[in-house]
Amino acid sequence: MSLPPDDIAPFAARRQRLMERMRADGGGIAILATAQEAIRNRDAEYPYRHDSDFFYLTGFTEPDAWLVLVAGATDRAVLFCRPRHVEHELWEGKRFGPEAAAAYFGFDDAHPIDALDELVPALMLDHPTLYAPLAGDKRTDGRLRRWLAAAQEKSRGGHTPPTRQQDVRPLLAGMRLIKDASEIATMRRAAKISAGAHARAMRVVRPGMREYEIEAELLYEFRRHGAQSVAYNTIVAAGANACVLHYPAGEAVLRDGDLVLVDAGCEIDSYASDITRTFPANGRYSGPQRALYDLTVAAQDAAAQATAPGRGFNDAHEAALRVLAQGMLDLKLLKGSLDGVLESGDYSRFYMHRTGHWLGLDVHDVGDYREPGTAAGAERPWRKLETGMMLTIEPGIYVRPADDVPEAYWNIGIRTEDDALVTDVGCELITRGVPVQATEIEALMRE
Ligand code: GLY
Ligand code: MN
Ligand code: MN
């Protein structure tokens, strides 16, 4: 579990913004729960990770917590959390408890979690709209239904329960798309640690090592710099394993002449990073490896050029695709014309994923990839990029053996991935603490 944030101001500001939105829409009450703890086996638990939306509005990282926001004549932010408990705290560590949580995080009120059923129905009265994650998990759905029914019971004497329900997640997703200064600062830290870990992997790799040994080097570097977790399961794929897109680090030996694809990013203070580099186990790219590698770098350059405020989300993908498809033609992986293979989608045999995704509290972060609010039925235009958005740029090429494919390229899988912050004029790749050019990687590996 991560430490409470030093600065709670950004969290309070986000609650304020959400409540302003709710008030502008006639007022309402928002109710969100954090994530539950999960059993791994018998009484051993998975490492706990709070819910990202809940964290975004609170900064609070303990399990068993709910947030209630009331936007009416006056605003109120109310936390429900685990009460202090001497014995539990002896085993599991310190809890804030409602009183200290309210004081530290700046809630108007806080109560023990057991008081939810008693207090929430009354809080619901006289607010026209209930904002919650609708049709989310069964537990939350069930409790919301019961609280609404209880509020209905209480509604004598001229008080009315909410008559409308609105999913709060799209509102939060819209907010989370644009990172504030504190988020950008945290993501730069995550990016720097992850870049350092990739550089370490490049320095230590030798033919004969196993994938899990490289994974261990990455995890060591993440953790020793304070990262609380990986942002997603680490991929270390030797040779042909790299053609499996989400291959988990396994036991395969890195052979002399193999490439190794490493897709790894840490999470620090709840924010993700996501980097992929593909480098030769023996420190030198072969000719065919280098040809494909340089192609992914050129595609990434083209995509980065197309990542700027006002550009559509898909522009980067289209730019990368043109470069990759032309390269596939030049290297005789494909036959035909550029327009022809782009039109037919033949390139998807070797490049079958998209070029990027939003990045933030979640590695595949929330946020619509299309412009919101366009009439139903019509295909909505791609979202326009704005300053402060964070996304990955990750073109790749994956060549499986086939009779019609030059044998020199068989079983090569390469992805080149960096994290891009949209700036006022273009984008900044915040993960370039690890080199990307083949010559620079080879130089680093010689150190
Ligand atoms: N590491 C998962 C991804 O690149 O999307
Ligand atoms: Mn990614
Ligand atoms: Mn990745």
Angstrom distance (rounded) from CA 292 to CA 17: 47
Which residue puts its alpha carbon closest to atom 5 of ligand 1? 364
Cβ–Cβ under 8 Å, residues 228 and 267: yes
pLDDT tens digits, one per residue of 117-139: 999 999 999 999 999 999 888 88
Nearest CA-CA partner of 65 in 106, 110, 22: 110
19-55 pLDDT tens trace: 999 999 999 999 999 999 999 999 999 999 999 999 9
pLDDT score at 163: 94
Amino acid at 178: I
Tell me if 358 CB under 6 Å of ligand 1.
no
| Tokens (6 digits) for 300 | 């990434």
Distance, CA of 102 to chain centre: 28
Q: Encode 371-429 in three state secondary structure.
A: CCCCCCCCCCCECECCCCCEEEECCEEEECCCCCCCHHHCCEEEECEEEEEECCCCEEE
In tens, the pLDDT along 167-222 reads: 999 999 999 999 999 999 999 999 999 999 999 999 999 999 999 999 999 999 99
User: What is the pLDDT, as a whole number, of residue 120?
Assistant: 97
Closest ligand to residue 248's CA? 1
Average pLDDT of every residue of the chain: 96
The DSSP output letter for 64 is S
**Whose C-alpha lies nearest to ligand 1, atom 4?**
274
Please give the number of the atom of ligand 1 that sits closest to the Cα of 417.
4
* Confidence bin at 401 (pLDDT 50/70/90): very high
Q: Is 263 in the pocket of ligand 1 (CB under 6 A)?
A: yes
Task: Give me the pLDDT at residue 1, please.
Answer: 67
Q: What are the catalytic residues? A: 43, 246, 263, 274, 353, 357, 364, 394, 398, 415, 417
Q: Over the stretch 220-238, which tens digit does the pLDDT of each residue have?
A: 999 999 999 999 999 999 9
The Cα angle at residue 23 between residues 21 and 25, in degrees rounded to 5:
75
Q: Give residue 383 CA to ligand 2 midpoint distance, Å.
A: 18
The whole-number pLDDT of residue 321 equals 98
Domains of the chain: 8-176 (3.40.350.10), 178-445 (3.90.230.10)
pLDDT, tens digit, 9 for 90 and up, residues 351-372: 999 999 999 999 999 999 999 8
Q: Counting atoms of ligand 1 from 1, which one is nearest the CA of 357?
A: 5
Instruction: Quickly state the pLDDT bin for 376 (edges 50, 70, 90).
Output: low
| Ligand 1 atom having least distance to the Cα of 394 | 4
What residue has token string 């550029």?
338
CB of 119 within 8 A of CB of 154? no
Query: Is residue 247 within 6 Å of ligand 1 at its C-beta?
Result: no
Residues near 171 by Cβ (< 8 Å), separated by ≥ 6?
A: 18, 21, 131
pLDDT reading at 240 higher than 90: yes
Contact 70, 127 (CB under 8 A): yes
Percent of the chain with pLDDT over 70: 99
Does the CB atom of residue 232 touch ligand 1 within 6 A?
Answer: yes
Quickly tell me which residue has 């620079």 as its tokens. Answer: 440
Q: Is the pLDDT of residue 88 over 80?
A: yes
Nearest alpha carbon to residue 82 among 56, 116, 58: 116
- pLDDT level of residue 373 (50, 70, 90 thresholds): confident
Q: What is the pLDDT of residue 35?
A: 96
Rounded percentage of the chain residues whose pLDDT exceeds 90: 93
Distance 327 CA to ligand 2 centre (A): 22
Q: Which helix (H) or strand (E) holds 192?
A: helix 181-204
The average pLDDT across 70-94 equals 94
In the predicted structure, residue 2 carries a pLDDT above the cut 80: no
pLDDT computed for residue 154 by the predictor: 83
Map tokens 């490493």 to a residue: 262
pLDDT band at 150 (very low <50, low <70, confident <90, very high): very high
pLDDT at position 375 is 64
pLDDT one-digit tens code per residue, 304-349: 999 999 999 999 999 999 999 999 999 999 999 999 999 999 999 9
Mutate to test the pocket of ligand 1, among 263, 352, 355 (most ligand atoms within 8 A of CB): 263
Q: Is 80 exceeded by the pLDDT of residue 378? A: no
